[in-house]
Amino acid sequence: MSLSRSDALAILTAPGEPYALTDTLINGRSYRTFANAPANLHDLFATAVDDSTFLVYAGERLSFRETYAKAAAFACYLQAQGIASGDRVAISLRNYPEWVIAFMAATSIGAIAVAMNALWQSDEMLYGLNDCGARVLIADEERLERLAPIRNQVQIAVVAVRPTRPHTDTVEFNAALSPYLGQSMPTVAVAPETSATIFYTSGSTGHPKGVLSTHRNVISALLSWELDAQAAALIAGLTPQPGPYQPATLMAVPLFHVTGSHAVFLSCYRQHRKLVCMYRWNPETAAELIESERITSVVAPAAMTGDLVRVARETQRDLSSLQVVGGGGAPRAPEQVRQIGATFASALPNTGWGMTETNAIGAGIGGLDYLAHPASSGRCSAVLELKVVDAEGNRLPAGERGELLVRGTSVFQGYWNRPELNATLFDDGWFRTGDVAYLDDEGYLYIVDRIKDLIIRGGENIGCGQVEAALVMHPDIIEAAVYAVPDERLGEEVGATVYAQAPIDEAALRDFLGAHLARFAIPRYLRFSDTPLPRTASGKILKRELRDDAVNALVNS
């Protein structure tokens, strides 16, 4: 008789086992924690220092030892600038090796690494830098250009990564490292509950919110994925065997999302995997890298993995090294799950449900289990609890839909500088996700809708309120409603209906929005009204009606 998942987890988490779980009192509440976890990210990084390849970017290669040495040097530089525990260090880059090095350096000395969205425009950068109070910004050429118009509005030291021209009031990254190369990583006392990261996530209203997490929050997520993989192998009766080449993962998603930073970068570091970075997503380039670098796993939202399925079918690339095609960031259609299983010779799909607020874990599913439950996000992580509640907060039985709540060791501390919001979203440690979901009688999670006014476009969270605020900044727009429009590839696209007092050219409006919004947040579908938008008796815009009209118009066009 085969083992159940609960049986496998019980074996693997028993006392004395590498993934043993224990009860730990944190902030007055008891949580399941990994007894053998590294105390902090400093210790985690120090455990994987050897000469095997870690980072690959274009023609550059860095071993684990070389990466760690550069991180130690940059940590010494940060300390020389007066950066200490709790200070914020902002990182605004594409997927360059310097992103990884800066993150390792900042968190190793107890500073808080702030992962800024590299697609933000100047206004958004200004808000993020002022909100987190960063003392140092590490930015590449494109971000330096966006920083220029707001430079006199922020008091911050700037480290320039791969600049293509001189920039005033900056120090070049390699020049900052140079005096400290060869020095050891500083030793700093960092407790598990010390704040480690801030990742910004868009909400349904207003500005993006800074998600503050501890070292334990982040590390618990990493070990949770490992535990799930061990459990799946135990259930299948498989003993991992070394392959003919070093396991490798393609970094196809941005590092400023927890999928990229946690599920890819940090997981690769923990598991001694080669990490092959892409500047931006291109499915043909991805297939070429999978073939040339013998990539064994890819983790990306449904839009990207769908692209990969298409390229695999259209080209003669040898993608036989792929063993896992992971998902995350946005739901994957059941048909794509089946396509992955049928397209790649050795690869099976996996996915999960998680949030920035849970450090990317929550529920997970993979392999044959996923093929059997293609609409599900899987079953709950061993260090978390999930429940579905009605409008009054009562727990609902299996099969009934309500709001999904989560509690456990990887759940974030709270939103940075948002105590009033934290008070409304936490109840006895349970975090209100804003997702409508149900759990079946086997514990499989199904996400079916969202309570929040939020668009998820290819894994990017876009707050409708933020886009609406940018639209009404236009002098001719009186009011605006922003909503999700279904999209086959990206899951959702941004749609907007605006009431304008004069005719507006669409291209000119998009140019205007480009100064205030990241490109992915600019509406693809625009509708114009010469009369006020429809409202309820209480004055709320009938957004659902406007969305339905827009979708019907697209279908019939």
**With 0-12 CB in 10 A as exposed, 13-18 as middle and 19+ as buried, what is 310?**
middle
5-21+214-450 carries CATH number 3.30.70.920: no
Q: Is the pLDDT of residue 538 over 70?
A: no
The band of 236, judged by pLDDT with boundaries at 50, 70 and 90, is confident
Q: Are 109 and 188 in contact, with CB atoms under 8 Å apart?
A: yes
Q: Is the pLDDT of residue 10 over 90?
A: yes
β-pair type (21-26, 414-415): unpaired
Q: What mean pLDDT do residues 422-428 have?
A: 94
Q: What mean pLDDT do residues 211-218 have?
A: 98
| pLDDT tens digits, one per residue of 307-328 | 888 888 888 888 889 888 887 6
- Give the count of beta carbons closer than 10 Å to the beta carbon of residue 398: 12
Would you list the domain boundaries of the chain?
Answer: 5-21+214-450, 41-201, 454-555
Higher pLDDT, 476 or 265: 265
CATH topology agreement for domains 41-201 and 454-555: no
In Å, what is the CA distance from 191 to each residue of 38, 43, 186, 235, 532? 10, 11, 15, 35, 55
**With 0-12 CB in 10 A as exposed, 13-18 as middle and 19+ as buried, what is 244?**
exposed
Single-letter residue type at 355: M
Q: Is the pLDDT of residue 408 over 60?
A: yes
Higher pLDDT, 536 or 529: 529
Look-up of token digits 């759940």? 411
Of 39-48, 286-295, 457-466, the poorest mean pLDDT is in 457-466
- Three-state secondary-structure class, residue 52: coil
The band of 243, judged by pLDDT with boundaries at 50, 70 and 90, is confident
Single-letter residue type at 85: S
Q: Is the pLDDT of residue 557 over 90?
A: no
Rounded Cα–Cα distance for residues 202 and 347 (Å): 33
Helices (H) and strands (E) in the chain, counts: 18, 29
What is the structure's pLDDT at 331?
61
**With 0-12 CB in 10 A as exposed, 13-18 as middle and 19+ as buried, what is 60?**
exposed
Residue 274 DSSP one-character state: E
| pLDDT tens digits, one per residue of 98-150 | 999 999 999 999 999 999 999 999 999 999 999 999 999 999 999 999 999 99
| pLDDT tens digits, one per residue of 354-368 | 999 999 999 998 888
Single-letter residue type at 469: A
Rounded Cα–Cα distance for residues 485 and 480 (Å): 15
Q: What mean pLDDT do residues 406-411 have?
A: 98
Higher pLDDT, 287 or 333: 287
Q: Is the pLDDT of residue 348 over 80?
A: no
Higher pLDDT, 305 or 462: 462
Q: What mean pLDDT do residues 272-278 have?
A: 96
Which residues are 34's β-sheet partners? Answer: 21
Residue partners of 134: CB distance under 8 A and separation at least 6: 88, 89, 90, 114, 156
The backbone torsions φ and ψ at residue 449, rounded to the nearest 5 degrees and listed phi first, read -170, 180
Residue partners of 166: CB distance under 8 A and separation at least 6: none
Rounded Cα–Cα distance for residues 437 and 32 (Å): 24
What is the structure's pLDDT at 292?
95
Give the H or E element holding residue 34. Answer: strand 29-34
Higher pLDDT, 478 or 146: 146
Q: What mean pLDDT do residues 511-522 have?
A: 94
Q: What mean pLDDT do residues 503-514 have?
A: 94
- Percent of the chain whose pLDDT exceeds 90: 71
What is the structure's pLDDT at 320?
87
Left if phi > 0, otherwise alpha if psi is -120 to 50, otherwise beta: which for 165?
beta
The band of 329, judged by pLDDT with boundaries at 50, 70 and 90, is low
The whole-model pTM stands at 0.86
Q: What is the rounded average pLDDT for all residues in the chain?
A: 92
Q: Are 454 and 199 in contact, with CB atoms under 8 Å apart?
A: no
Q: Is the pLDDT of residue 537 over 60?
A: no
Encoding tokens for residue 186? 């500083």
What is the structure's pLDDT at 161?
98
Q: Is the pLDDT of residue 189 over 80?
A: yes
What is the structure's pLDDT at 248?
96
Of 11-20, 210-219, 238-247, 505-514, the poorest mean pLDDT is in 238-247
Kindly report each contact of residues 65-70 with a partner whose C-beta sits within 8 Å and lies 24 or more positions away, as own/partner. Answer: 67/97, 67/100, 67/101, 67/104, 68/104, 68/185, 69/181, 69/182, 70/101, 70/177, 70/181
Question: What is the CATH code for 41-201?
Answer: 3.40.50.980
Q: Which CATH class is domain 454-555?
A: alpha beta
In Å, what is the CA distance from 122 to each residue of 151, 445, 509? 10, 39, 17
The band of 350, judged by pLDDT with boundaries at 50, 70 and 90, is confident
Higher pLDDT, 443 or 237: 443
